[in-house]
Structures are given as C-alpha cells and as structure tokens.
C-alpha cells in the first residue's frame, strides 16, 4: 500500500482516501452504476489539476467474470500501478 512510504499524517490521509474510494465504488456497483470506464474530471479554477481515473474490473480468482452481486475477490486498499 502506498501509505507505507509517507509520514504518519500523509499515510493516514491516504488510508482514509482508499477507504472512501473503495466504499464509493462498492456502493455504486451495488446500485447498478456502470463504473467500469475511464473518468475525466476537469477542475475549476485552472490552478487545480485535472484528473483521469480508470476503473477496471479485476478477474476473479478462478479467472471468470463474476456475473452478479459483489466482487468475489474484494480486497481492502488500492494497489498502485
């Protein structure tokens, strides 16, 4: 987890961000929102950076797509690429 490389305050903020993002993704998935795509966020004012976020579904442990319900390989935290 990326939080291991930062000071305590930053690590805590990263951990909270990961929990919030995971919760948002899982709640949206459970509500049927098609979240698997690339999202582009353009910020105002221009002094705030724009962001691109790609959400991709990971294959299950058996290598098959999970057709319904919650992801069968759910893990906590995000893995940096």
- pTM, two decimal places: 0.62
pLDDT in tens, 20-58: 999 999 999 999 999 999 999 999 988 999 999 999 999
Q: What is the 3-state secondary structure (H, E, C) of 14-42?
A: HHHHHHHHHHHHHHHHHCCCCCCEEEEEC
Q: How far apart are CA 57 and CA 72, in angstroms?
A: 11
Q: In whole angstroms, what is the distance from residue 74 CA to residue 38 CA?
A: 20
Is residue 11 pLDDT above 80, yes or no? Answer: yes
41 is written with which tokens? 């966020």
């Amino acid at each position: 987890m990326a939080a291991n490389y930062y000071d305590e305050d930053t690590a805590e903020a990263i951990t909270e961000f990961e929990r919030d993002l995971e919760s948002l993704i899982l709640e949206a998935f459970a509500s049927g929102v098609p979240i698997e795509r690339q999202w582009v966020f353009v910020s105002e004012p221009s002094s705030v950076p724009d962001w691109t976020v790609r959400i991709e579904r990971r294959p299950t442990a058996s290598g098959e797509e999970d057709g319904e319900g919650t992801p069968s390989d759910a893990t906590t935290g995000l893995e940096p690429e």
